[in-house]
Amino acid sequence: MEQVKRQQNNLFDNYDDSKRKKIASKSHDCLSRETITNFEVLSNELIYEVFEFLDYFHIYKAFFNLNIRFRNLLTNSSLPIKVNISSISKSAYQQYYTDIIRTNAYRINSLRLSNLFIYGLTSSPIQILSKFLQLERLILDNIESKYLKKLLHSLKSLSMLSSLTITSLDNIKNKNAIYHQIFCLPALKYCKVSLEGYSNDDDPLPSITNDYSPIEHLVINDDMYLDELNCLTSYVPQLRRFSIQLRPEYWKQRTKIRPPTLNHLTHVFLKMNYVNFNQFEQLVIDLFATIQFLRISITYNGDTEYMNNKRWEQLILSHMPNLRIFDIRYERCLYNMPPDDNNQLTLDSYINQFTTPFWIERQWFFALRRKSYTLSQTSNQKTCLNSSETNLRTVRHVRIQCEKELINWVNYFPNATELTFESGFSTTHESIANMLRRIIPLEQLSILVLECHYFSFIKLIELLRFIPNIDTLIFKSMPFYRNNCISIQQTETFRLVSNKNRITNVTFKEVCTLEKLRLLVALCPRLQSLTIKIHMKDLESITRFLLENNTKENTDHLCSLCFSAASTKWFEKLDILIKSEILLDVYNLKLVGSNLYLWW
């Protein structure tokens, strides 16, 4: 069970709609003078402001070849450009790179790369980073370790780069070397890093001299040992917001580093695995004297001292006197226990400790607040959901273990965008959508995950009819039961869902046959990215089906394919097949771990 101290209002960025209002005002003025019948009548200034709300690649596709005026609007402007390269075909990317990225590099102030193939291209933006003179924000998703070190070195020349986000695709052998390169960037204010791999054998960070980093907001989504933290934070004396995952000290003796002074630190977010209260207390004493906001999540920990109100009171009064907001999630008490009366008494005894004047005066009290919630046999709406209307507003991901709990559930998740049916789920009802709409806004969902084996494909199609805005579909199996592919595809519901759904990303986790793939592609004709697991004997037939011209009606948008559980033999066989039968003119093939990626 997750327990949270202090019920906190959701913190949302206030959207600045002044530009939207300005556009509306100008449009009204234009309409008052004449009737506008098409977009081209708008002034250049107004069109530029409309463009600010759109993805620049979509702008390019729609207007670059429309006429001379719009091409000039795109190429002759000095306005900044935000580039986001993710689901895009290789030919479309090459043209985009030639027409916009290469010739307007000096205008690009935000660059996001999510396509793992982009980093290795000769026409990659990272090959001309020195020309990105206005670049302020850089996001590198799915980057391989072999590209990362060289790329970070080239970033030193970007004097305006203030925001950097990195998510690695494969294991990083020496994370500390990456951190050290990041700390050498001259203008960086925000940094978020998610690096794969373990750090047991990493070389330690060198002791800081005078080359301090200007970073003010640092997020490290990797496990770090407690005894590494002093050295890490010594590089960032201007730190104001800090988020990190921590585990106990490494068993090998490390050189002790004196804690740095972090006079500007106000916000701390910690996720701690197996860290006991004594270790956490020393961390607070060493580094967190100035903080005003503390959010911690404690998992895999049996130390009940985290539930000792007296120790918390003493620690806060003595070492965190400026603390205003205190949010703790402690996953230990009553975890995996049935919601009977005895366990409720135990829970109440913990909670009642925190009802002294110290907590009441600060308006700190226990409540549940989470981004994910699971409906299971141990769910207890009464004990877990006090002030449920407020607490459930924070839930974005709803997981359902069994149909019974779905039927009995009476609360509503108004902001849920992701739905998962867990492995043991099965249903006997004709329309599960009627049950779901009582607890979540179906039209708001964008991700659907089926981890269960007994959710028939017919029921999936019926459900998709009522959740039209799903973008990502992840499922484990595709049982037909008494139906066959032909009869399923001929139903009115299938045709309706196929015409209306917006699914662009599909992952099928269990072995997929050609028969099932045909049905899946027919159901999702706007598919851009597909991840499947197949038998090697089916590699050639499935590849032909997806790439040959006679299926282009349903795979016209498909440009990215991943075969999971693959090997070097798969790589060689697929490469020979494509070349010998000329299935693709231009493509890239890459094996990362056991995943074989194809992009065209």
Q: Is the pLDDT of residue 263 over 50?
A: yes
**Mean pLDDT (whole number) for 500-523:** 94
pLDDT at site 16: 46
Q: Is the pLDDT of residue 333 over 60?
A: no
38 band by pLDDT with thresholds 50, 70 and 90: confident
* Residue 14 reports pLDDT greater than 70: no
Q: Which residue has the higher pLDDT, 381 or 447?
A: 447
Q: Residue 345 — very low, low, confident or very high, per pLDDT cuts 50/70/90?
A: very low
Q: Write the DSSP string, 114-125.
A: --TTGGG-TT-G
Asked if 591 and 568 touch (Cβ cutoff 8 Å), the reply is yes
Greatest C-alpha distance within the chain: 78
Q: Read off the pLDDT of residues 393-443 as tens digits, 9 standing for 90 and up.
A: 889 999 999 898 899 898 999 999 999 999 889 887 778 999 999 999 999
In terms of Cβ atoms closer than 10 Å to its own Cβ (0-12, 13-18, 19+), residue 490 is exposed
CB neighbour burial string for 377-412, b if at least 16 within 10 angstroms, e if fewer: ebbbeeebbeebebbbbbbebbbbbbbebbeebeeb
CA separation for the pair 295, 312 (Å, rounded) = 14
Give the separation between CA 181 and CA 215, rounded to whole angstroms: 13
Higher pLDDT, 518 or 346: 518
pLDDT at site 332: 53
Task: Note the pTM of the prediction, 2 decimals.
Answer: 0.85
Q: Is 182 within 8 Å of 164 (Cβ atoms)?
A: yes
Pair 256, 229: CB distance under 8 Å = no
Confidence at residue 7, expressed as pLDDT on a 0 to 100 scale: 37
Structure tokens at 413: 């998740």
Asked whether 590 and 550 are in contact (CB, 8 A), the reply is no
